[in-house]
Amino acid sequence: MDWLLILCSLVHIFLCPFTKVEESFNLQAIHDILYHQTNVQEYDHLEFPGVVPRTFLGPIAVSFVSAPFVALFRALEIPKDASLYLVRCALGAIVLWPLIKLRKRIQEMLGQGTSNWFVFITVSQFHFLFYLSRPLPNTMALPLVLLAYYYWLGQQHGKFIACSAAAILIFRGELAILLGLILLGELLTRRLSLVKTVIFAVPSGLIWLSLTVLVDSFYWQRLLWPEGEVLWFNVVLNKSGDWGTSPFLWYFYSAIPRAMGTSLALVPVGMFLERRVLPLTLPPLFFVLAYSFLPHKELRFIVYALPLLNVAAAAACSRLWENRTKGKWRTLLALVAIGHLVANLVLTSFLLMVSRANYPGGEALSLLHKMESYESNVTVHIDVLAAQTGISRFGQLHDNWMYDKTENLKAGSPELRMFNYLIAEAKSKHAYNLRPYSDTHDIVAHIEGFSHIRSSYNHFPPIRIKTKPCLFILKNKYPPEEPDFSFTLRKHPMDILEEQATPLAADVEVQDFESTNNSETEGLLPDNFTEIPVSIQNVKD
């Protein structure tokens, strides 16, 4: 059944290759490790550090796995945006490995039937596989959490504590609640003694804490413990609420139902029919309850709870399916188990299609690359919405192009008129912020974004997604012959070539030099940030 997990994960990757602002740090860090290596001064995070620092250990692991394939692609001169697929596949493989191990542990504990249903339920749901290959901070911690589950269910307490310590100290401090509850259960049931806990925990904590401080202090160019600063920001200062707040029970009435779909109704059934799953489901439920006290809530914050809750749903389905020949009512209940998978798949297909068109920035830059020759020395300014919705260094294909994301430039300003192209947010071609360009720029294309959902009984499915203009690509009709980019934080690539050229190497070609392109705008968005499906249309007079 493992092939089904791999196949469905690949579907998510290839249908939704671009990433959003929440994934920016890890994705840019992976790019910089692969392409700039030890030249830390060229790294994205020094220019766009974000609200809080994040660890480089996750990006290093993903880069290690993907580096041979990226090197092969570079040798074959395959465009750099193809490496984005490689990186996401590498991250997906890192997460799938412990997930498959967990599936095998479930098979040992609860049987082949529950193991198979666990796979069916997981692939039928949208969010877990969607997040599985996305370079979010939570996804970076997910492999260690899944390994911790695996060792916990196998009563390998030393390895459980080591994985838990790494997940907590390096990636996500809030996992102390979830994994701490599991550890507390082991102590209360006397499957683990307090002395052994200390013997395992203290060395593990010191090793992982020392590792993250040493590595991350090098990359951030200052002494720091990244996750410690995150905890201080979110817990002590309680600043996470600045990015949006949700009601206390939001995880229970919104996030978990959306993540689990119709499988949620089978969780209590599984807890009742298979008592062995009860200890598996209580820690994630109490974790979600405790985590609800923080005002800022996003579904990805509790993604670690989904596998254990799915075990309970799988146990219910397995029992219902095994009893399908014991009467008409049992047959009907078995069909309900099958039907709930169909319902999940319908919902997942809809969400996947919406998400596939949810990255206007990535689509816009990809379209611009198709419209303009790579041999041209193009300069393009990318506004905030475009930078937050799909543009990353992996999408900046040409070393002789200048990709600029300088913020707070006024529409129509002399600075913006220095660029050959602008990717600008606007609601229509007559929008107020596009008026200053009416005489100087041509609108060559636009990308449509989400407007609303409406029901339509004349179509199948009876739900229609309505869109409206979101981003516009503007071409400068009168680009200056000698543009002045002194207002930016970087120089034009061609200027760097001129500075580096010597009489002995005056004929060095452009591709011999590293790009000095800017990187993705960093930041945070609330969970209810509007999803933006897009479609590309050429503008006609």
Q: What is the pLDDT of residues 12-65, one digit of tens each?
A: 999 999 999 899 999 999 999 999 998 999 999 988 888 899 999 999 999 999
Token pair 């061609």 is found at 494
Instruction: Tell me the sheet residues that pair with 382.
Output: 423
Confidence of residue 223 (pLDDT cuts 50, 70, 90): very high
pLDDT of residue 237: 81
Largest CA distance in the chain: 90
Per DSSP (E only), the strands in 114-184 are: none
In a domain, 524, yes or no: no
Answer yes or no: are the C-beta atoms of 485 and 492 closer than 8 Å: yes
Alpha-carbon separation of residue 210 from 167, 207, 315, 443, 454 (angstroms)? 14, 5, 41, 53, 54
Distances (CA, A) of 280 to 108, 190, 513, 528: 15, 17, 54, 30
With CA atoms as reference, report the closest residue to 120 among 258, 254, 384, 315: 315
Is there a contact between 313 and 266 (Cβ–Cβ < 8 Å)? yes
Query: Structure tokens of 323?
Result: 């009893």
Picking from 369, 381, 374, 388, the residue whose alpha carbon sits closest to that of residue 27 is 388
Residue 203 lies in a domain: yes
Quickly tell me which residue has 């050959």 as its tokens: 420
- Regarding whether 350 and 410 lie in a shared domain, the answer is no
Cβ burial, residue 411 (10 Å; 0-12/13-18/19+)? middle
Last residue of a domain, one of 357, 383, 399: 357
Among 42, 32, 40, 31, smallest CA distance to 516 is for 42
User: Which among 12, 10, 3 is positioned nearest to 351, based on CA atoms?
Assistant: 12
Instruction: State whether 335 and 371 are in the same domain.
Output: no
Question: Looking at the structure, do residues 292 and 242 belong to the same domain, yes or no?
Answer: yes
Write out pLDDT tens, residues 360-379: 999 999 999 999 888 788 99
pLDDT exceeds 90 at position 408: no
Question: Does the residue 537 lie in any domain?
Answer: no
Tokens of 73: 């692609």
pLDDT attached to residue 162: 97
Asked if 371 and 256 sit in the same domain, the reply is no
Tell me which residue range forms the domain holding 242.
1-357
| Confidence check: pLDDT of 532 > 50 | no
Quickly state the pLDDT bin for 281 (edges 50, 70, 90): very high
Q: Which of 130-139, 185-194, 472-481 has the lowest mean pLDDT?
A: 472-481
Confirm whether 198 is domain-assigned: yes
374 with 330, same domain: the answer is no
pLDDT band at 485 (very low <50, low <70, confident <90, very high): confident
pLDDT higher at 37 or 451: 37
- 141 shares its domain with 78: yes
375 and 350 both lie in a single domain: no
The domain boundary residue, chosen from 307, 324, 357: 357
| Within-domain flag for 541 | no
Domain boundary at 312, 335, 357, which? 357
**How many angstroms separate the CA atoms of 341 and 367, rounded?**
37
Q: Which of 104-108, 135-139, 487-491 has the lowest mean pLDDT?
A: 487-491
Query: 391 and 291, same structural domain?
Result: no
Query: Residue length, the chain?
Result: 541
- Residue 502 confidence class, pLDDT cut points 50, 70, 90: very low
Residue 521 lies in a domain: no
Residue 510 is predicted with a pLDDT of 29
pLDDT of 365: 94
Query: For residue 50, what pLDDT is reported?
Result: 84
33 shares a domain with 123: yes
Per the listing, tokens 């609601």 go with 427
| Residue 508 half-sphere exposure toward CB, CA atoms < 13 A | 16
Contact yes or no for 124/263 (Cβ under 8 A): yes
Arithmetic mean of pLDDT, 198-206: 97
What are the φ and ψ backbone dihedral angles of 386, each rounded to 5 degrees? -65, -40
User: Which strands sit side by side in the sheet containing 402-404, from one edge to the other?
Assistant: 402-404, 379-382, 421-425, 463-476, 441-455, 535-538
Q: Is the pLDDT of residue 506 over 70?
A: no
If pLDDT is split at 50, 70 and 90, which confidence band does 490 have? Answer: low
- Name the pLDDT band for 489 (thresholds 50, 70, 90): low
Q: Cα(228)–Cα(423) distance, rounded to whole angstroms? A: 37
Beta bridge pairs of residue 471:
425, 447
More confident residue, 463 or 387: 387
Phi/psi-derived region of residue 435, left when phi > 0, alpha when psi is between -120 and 50, beta in every other case = alpha
Distance in angstroms (rounded) separating the CA atoms of residues 219 and 242: 27
pLDDT score of 462: 77
Q: Is 516 within the bounds of a domain?
A: no
Contact 449/360 with Cβ under 8 angstroms?
yes
φ/ψ of 489, rounded to 5, equals: -90, 5
Asked which of 23-32, 108-117, 197-206, 233-242 is least confident by mean pLDDT, the reply is 233-242
Indicate the SS3 state at residue 14. helix
Question: What is the pLDDT, as a whole number, of residue 511?
Answer: 31
Average pLDDT over residues 141-159: 97
- Verify that 89 and 222 share a domain, yes or no: yes
Token reading at 371:
């419209």
Whether 388 has a pLDDT exceeding 70, the answer reads yes
Note whether 174 and 129 are same-domain residues.
yes
Q: What is the 3-state secondary structure (H, E, C) of 394-415?
A: HHCCCCCCEEECCCCCCCCCCC
Instruction: Count up the domains in the chain and report the number.
Output: 2
DSSP string, 231-245: HIIIIIS--GGGG--
Asked if 379 and 418 touch (Cβ cutoff 8 Å), the reply is yes
Residue 414 has pLDDT above 50, yes or no: yes
For the cut 90, the answer to whether the pLDDT of residue 507 exceeds it is no
In the DSSP assignment, the letter for residue 274 is -
Do residues 255 and 327 both lie within one domain?
A: yes
CA–chain centroid gap for 453, Å, is 25
Mean pLDDT of the chain: 87
Please compute the mean of the pLDDT values over residues 425-452 and round it to a whole number.
87
Q: Copy the structure tokens of residue 367.
A: 């379209």
pLDDT over 90 (residue 304):
yes
Domain for residue 268, yes or no? yes
